[in-house]
Amino acid sequence: MAELWLLAWPAGHSLSPVMHNAALKEMGLPHRYQALEVRPGDLNRAVAAVRSEAVLGANVTVPHKQAVFGLLDSVSDAARQVGAVNTISHHDGGLHGDNTDVEGFLALLGRAGVNLPGDGSLKAAVLGAGGAARAAVFALAPHAELVLVNRTVERAEELARDFRSHAAFSRVERTATAGVLAGCQLVVNTTSVGMERQGVNPDQSPVEGEALPDSAVVIDMIYRPAQTRLLRLAGERGLRNLGGLEMLVQQGAASLRIWTGKRDVPVDTMREAALAALAA
Ligand code: ATR
């Protein structure tokens, strides 16, 4: 039996333990996944403990996704370019960092029926400029010309600068107006606008319904609530739309593949477990 950990602060609301434990049980593996509350000052010690043979690996989430870089022996290209690690595994006698949010996001797009052309001809808008936006930009860069929108436009400009050699940005803007989004076949919300949080009204959208382009696919990375105001507005416009639960499930599945070395992980079981925990 080995341990799998989630290093987070706070860790209370995470769906990862139920999702991973359901999968491990179905795979007949004796491992156990648990969330550990790790204060920022304790991250060094927690990552040092992952080096033990009793620990198969770990997920890393807010607020540790950047700070963990300096504590690892190697990181993947995706983690380096996104600037965030969400998965730690043992590799060549050291600790290796990956970013499976990118794979999770690509799988979400696949489930939403978005075709990713090899010639960069998709036109896509990414709303937000935080870590989630960086994962989306990294994933879309080979396929799309990007419109980047963020309330703090300087952050979006910085993101565009960081990715200038990998991604084509046609516009960087402060507000997602109809004119800014015109012609986009894909609109991805990576902001926290519309997320269920204490003391915040979740019935908000980063874009007005009428600003969404005709025939765009609308993706919201938020999974709590399952149907955000943005997705509702997209639905009212008759646009295909999908929330972020599939990304959560698929990033988890990708992490589990890394830790177990098995291609086949029970994604449907993980999705059912996450859905049941969300509904509870
Ligand atoms: P993450 O790493 O999860 O993406 P983050 O770095 O906190 O989280 O980024 C949150 C994103 O949501 C940012 O793009 C933020 O915009 P700012 O850069 O202007 O802060 C965006 N966001 C959060 N609350 C917002 C609001 N009320 N209106 C518009 N954008 C908001």
Among candidates 160, 164, 122, which has minimal Cα distance to 140? Answer: 122
Task: Report the pocket of ligand 1 as residue ranges, CB < 6 Å.
Answer: 128-133, 150-152, 155, 190-193, 206
What number of other Cβ atoms are within 10 A of residue 239's Cβ?
18
pLDDT at residue 152, rounded to an integer: 98
Share of the chain above pLDDT 90, in %: 98
DSSP state of 70: G
Tell me which residue has its CA closest to atom 29 in ligand 1: 151
For 112-128, the pLDDT digits (tens) are: 999 999 999 999 999 99
C-alpha–C-alpha distance, residues 4 and 192, integer Å: 28
Residue 29 alpha carbon to ligand 1 centre in Å: 38
Whole-prediction pTM: 0.96
Looking at every residue in the chain, the average pLDDT score rounds to: 97
Which atom of ligand 1 is nearest to 151's Cα?
Answer: 19
Band (pLDDT 50/70/90 cuts) for residue 32 is very high
Between strands 122-127 and 186-189, the pairing is parallel
Share of the chain above pLDDT 70, in %: 100
For 131-186, the pLDDT digits (tens) are: 999 999 999 999 999 999 999 999 999 999 999 999 999 999 999 999 999 999 99
What number of other Cβ atoms are within 10 A of residue 140's Cβ?
24
Determine the average pLDDT of the residues in 47-74: 97
In the predicted structure, residue 187 carries a pLDDT above the cut 90? yes
Q: Which long-range contacts (CB under 8 A, 24 or more apart) does 174-178 make?
A: 174/149, 174/150, 175/149, 176/125, 176/127, 176/149, 176/206, 176/207, 176/211, 177/211, 178/210, 178/211, 178/213
In the predicted structure, residue 1 carries a pLDDT above the cut 90? no
Residues 25, 65, 123, 262: which is the catalytic one? 65
Say which residues have a Cβ less than 8 Å from residue 213's Cβ, sequence separation at least 6.
178, 181, 182, 183, 184, 185, 187
In the predicted structure, residue 111 carries a pLDDT above the cut 90? yes
Band (pLDDT 50/70/90 cuts) for residue 12 is confident
In the predicted structure, residue 13 carries a pLDDT above the cut 90? no
Determine the average pLDDT of the residues in 209-233: 97
pLDDT at residue 241, rounded to an integer: 98
Residue 27 alpha carbon to ligand 1 centre in Å: 37
Residue 245 alpha carbon to ligand 1 centre in Å: 19
65 assigned to active site = yes
Band (pLDDT 50/70/90 cuts) for residue 3 is very high
> Would you call 79 helix, strand, or coil by DSSP?
helix
C-alpha–C-alpha distance, residues 211 and 46, integer Å: 46
Determine the average pLDDT of the residues in 21-50: 98
Residue 18 alpha carbon to ligand 1 centre in Å: 27
pLDDT at residue 28, rounded to an integer: 98
In the predicted structure, residue 18 carries a pLDDT above the cut 90? yes
Pocket probe for ligand 1: among 64, 189, 191, the residue whose CB has the most ligand atoms within 8 Å is: 191
pLDDT at residue 228, rounded to an integer: 98
Which atom of ligand 1 is nearest to 127's Cα?
Answer: 14
User: H or E element: which one contains 8?
Assistant: strand 3-8
